[in-house]
Amino acid sequence: MILGVLLAAALLYLFLRPGAAGGWVVVTRDGVETARYPLGQDRTVTIGDGDYNVLEIRDGAAAVIEANCGDHTCMRMGAISRDGETIVCLPHHLIVSIEGGEAAPFDAAAQ
Ligand SMILES: [Zn+2]
């Protein structure tokens, strides 16, 4: 019985996680989720047209590597990779956050 639950949890974990790192990079502009990318797949995306932020996902971490906002605070925040971590660009009303990273709830439940 317990073995079955553990097996189901393990299968669910394997099925849900998008890559080795697990988790999602969620992009929110003006309070609306506009995109989400698997944290486990390397990619570089430009968010926005006039006001832009370049988001890089590499080795299971996400970072804003370029932006034309005034303060560049988003670039200085560095890379994020754990569940709940965020990068905020106030001038562009942009939030990049991690969902279900290393601290995912079913990791704890499975132990
Ligand atoms: Zn910024």
Q: How many domains does the chain have?
A: 1
pLDDT tens-digit map of 30-61: 999 999 999 999 999 999 989 999 999 999 99
CA of 93 to the centre of ligand 1 (A): 9
Q: Which amino acid is at 56?
A: E
CA of 52 to the centre of ligand 1 (A): 9
Cut 0.75: pTM above it: no
CA of 18 to the centre of ligand 1 (A): 28
Look at residue 55 in the predicted model and tell me its pLDDT. Answer: 98
Look at residue 11 in the predicted model and tell me its pLDDT. Answer: 63
Ion ligand 1 residue ranges (Cβ < 5 Å): 67, 69, 74, 89
Average confidence score pLDDT of the chain:
85
> Which CATH number covers residue 75?
2.60.320.10
Residue range(s) defining the domain that contains residue 31:
2-109
Bigger pLDDT: 102 or 44? Answer: 44
pLDDT tens-digit map of 13-32: 655 554 445 799 999 999 99
Cα 13 → chain centroid: 17
- Taking 70 as the threshold, does the pLDDT of residue 108 lie above it? no
Q: DSSP per residue over 60-103, as a string?
A: TEEEEEEE-SSS-HHHHT--B-STT-EEEEGGGTEEEEEESSTT
